[in-house]
Amino acid sequence: MSVQPTAQAELTAPLYNFAYLDEQTKRMIRRTILKAIAIPGYQVPFGSREMPVPYGWGTGGIQVTASIIGRSDVFKCIDQGADDTTNAVSIRRFFAKIAEVAVTESTAEATIIQTRHRIPEKDLQEGQVMVFQVPQPEPLRGLEPRETETRAMHAYEEYGLQYVSLYESVSAYRRIAATASYPVIVDERYLMSPSPIPKFDNPKLHMSPALMLFGAGREKRIYAVPPYTRVRSLDFEDYPFETQRWDDVCALCGAEESYLDEVVLDDQGNRMFVCSDSNHCGERRAEGHVGPMADHALAGATS
């Protein structure tokens, strides 16, 4: 029954099945997702399909979203934290057209949030699903090129090697300098790359009420962090995990605790720091928060 498109869908999108993928593919991906949820942090292989965008543009995330989205969902898509970047706009339009779902820029309203690089600043809620677009799911790959070996390492929980990258970092910079794709241990068992979010967002993975799904289209892997799961960022006893901090506040909304992007304004060395999460920044300004450069032309552009 599920193979057949509904009569309704036939009328509105006659050339494609609901949400682009055929029903068998969606079932395969849903089974993969269920297994991923059952084994938090474990990379489950799946039959990644060719998508109408190139690898690296979010094919994994799009397939995950397409497999779980329903007509009642409200879809939000961000790239580098912003809703209005080209890739985010394209993917949002894609699902609006092909699945006829409501779309939003509001974190609170969304039921599914597809993302590259960020987790929204606003606390996620039960029932929400984060879908991450993942370029490289294997955190050990840079240190151990053999797939057979990394699989054995996961199977036997041999994660000493991952610390080698932290060791290298401390040796070179006197601190753990990695800022993104910072490796974590999920539920004290599987090593996982939360790629490519900044380590600033790592703590948001820990005991989150929302479901976190990670899709890597080119590498054909799906993994998950179920709601309320322990997620620990790796560190050394004498070099504990730390997130990035900024001396500046958001130039537009004055936020002190959000992840800031540096924007170069001219060739005179002038620059400003603004919230990477455009929805968060806009909502704060609507609530009356004011940053030191609130009148800047960019204020209009990013709201």
Partner 1 sequence: MTTQAPPLLRVNRVSKWFGEIVGCRNVSFDLHPGEILGVVGESGSGKTTLLRCLSGKLEPTSGGAEFLSKRHGPVDIFQLGEQDRRRLQREEWGFVHQNPRDGLRMRVSGGANVAEPLMSLGGRHYGQMRRATTDWLERVELDISRVDHKPRNFSGGMQQRIQIARNLIHQPRLVFMDEPTGGLDVSVQARLLDLLRELVRDLQLSAIIVTHDMGVARLMADRLLVMKNGDVVETGLTDQVLDDAQHPYTQLLVSSVLQL
> What residue ranges bind partner 1 (CB under 8 A)?
142-144, 152, 155-156, 158, 160-161, 163-168, 170-172, 236-239
**Cβ 206 to partner 1 shortest distance, Å:** 19
Is 253 assigned a catalytic role? yes
Note the helical H segments in 192-277.
202-205
**Cβ 162 to partner 1 shortest distance, Å:** 8
**Cβ 153 to partner 1 shortest distance, Å:** 9
Identify the H or E element spanning 78: strand 74-79
Catalytic residue among 215, 275, 282, 291: 275
Is 77 assigned a catalytic role? no
Task: Output 155 or 297, the one with its CB closest to partner 1.
Answer: 155
Is 275 assigned a catalytic role? yes
- Say what the alpha-carbon torsion angle 295, 296, 302, 303 is, to the nearest 10 degrees: 10
Task: Output 152 or 286, the one with its CB closest to partner 1.
Answer: 152
Catalytic residue among 61, 250, 282, 291: 250
Exposed, middle or buried, 5 (CB in 10 Å: 0-12/13-18/19+)? middle
Alpha-carbon separation of residue 207 from 124, 172, 228 (angstroms)? 11, 33, 4
Cis omega (within 30 of 0) on the bond before 196? Answer: yes
What is the β-pairing status of strands 112-116 and 190-192?
A: unpaired
- Total Cβ atoms within 10 A of residue 102: 14
Task: Output 89 or 170, the one with its CB closest to partner 1.
Answer: 170
Is 281 assigned a catalytic role? yes
Catalytic residue among 253, 282, 288, 300: 253
Catalytic residue among 60, 217, 281, 291: 281
- The residue behind tokens 């998508």 is 51
**Cβ 202 to partner 1 shortest distance, Å:** 18
Task: Output 15 or 172, the one with its CB closest to partner 1.
Answer: 172
Active site residues: 41, 250, 253, 275, 281
